[in-house]
Amino acid sequence: MLRKLAILIAIYFCSSVYSLEIANSVTDWQTGINDGLNENGATVTPGSLEDAPQQGQFGWEYGFYNTSLPTPNPATFTRLGKWWNDTQFGGPFWGLDDPSIDEGRKLRLNEDGGHTSFAIGTSFEGDFAVRRYNVEAGVSGLVTISGTVRRPSGLISEGRTGITFRFFHNNSEILAEQINVVLGDTTFHNYSFQLNVNTGDSLDFAMDPDGNVNGDSGVFTAIISSPVPEPTTLLLLGIATILLGQFNRSFGSKRK
């Protein structure tokens, strides 16, 4: 009886875990935008348009891949250099330095998404907008990567190719999900998968322009979490260990 009870508790332990959130692209952005520091770390009014989520804060970087080659290359990741503190184009947002370049204004990352851009200085298909998370010290092992991808409503027109959401672990592509604006797809596409990571790894959440950057806004959020046993489950595991110990002692005494 004791053995059966211990086994049942152990099974419950294996199935009863909850997720400890390591990083959240939206809430980490919101925290950075209300901490009273601008993109250079200078003090500003908390929550003002000058208050920015800084590059590297909470492990997040905001940048792009320069796609001068047919294959997206995470090694070309470059930080966006300008915090645009206006509300035009879904701002405030991280963008390029030069406001005179129309395509530069298109390339942006905001709280929950962004927009791709023509590749500056090349006629190729365009730059990827990339939100990168650098795995911080103390984090290693199995994590869950999850979030939502979708197109904003009202951006439906012929000739637009849509976007592809891509996820890269270091230099390896793990996920690609097409969202086709021509078909008017504004569905929430939820994704979730598990991955083994190590401190210093880069996790890239990227928007691929798919050959046409017109209307290439998109929503893409990211959460990195780690499975953790619930406190009640840990207590039950302790009880199971005690019961198994009692069973073993009882069984051993009977054999004598």
pLDDT in tens, 96-140: 766 555 555 577 888 888 777 655 444 444 578 899 999 998 888
pTM exceeds 0.85, yes or no: no
User: Can you tell me the distance from the alpha carbon of 248 to that of 217, in angstroms, rounded to the nearest whole number?
Assistant: 63
pLDDT in tens, 54-64: 999 999 999 98
Segments in the chain forming alpha helices (H): 2-15, 25-32, 102-106, 231-255
Dihedral angle computed from the Cα positions of residues 187, 67, 85 and 202, in that order, rounded to the nearest 10 degrees: 80
Confidence band, pLDDT 50/70/90 cuts, at residue 196: very high
User: Who wins on pLDDT, 246 or 51?
Assistant: 51
| Structural domains in the chain plus CATH codes | 1-16+230-256 (no CATH), 19-228 (2.60.120)
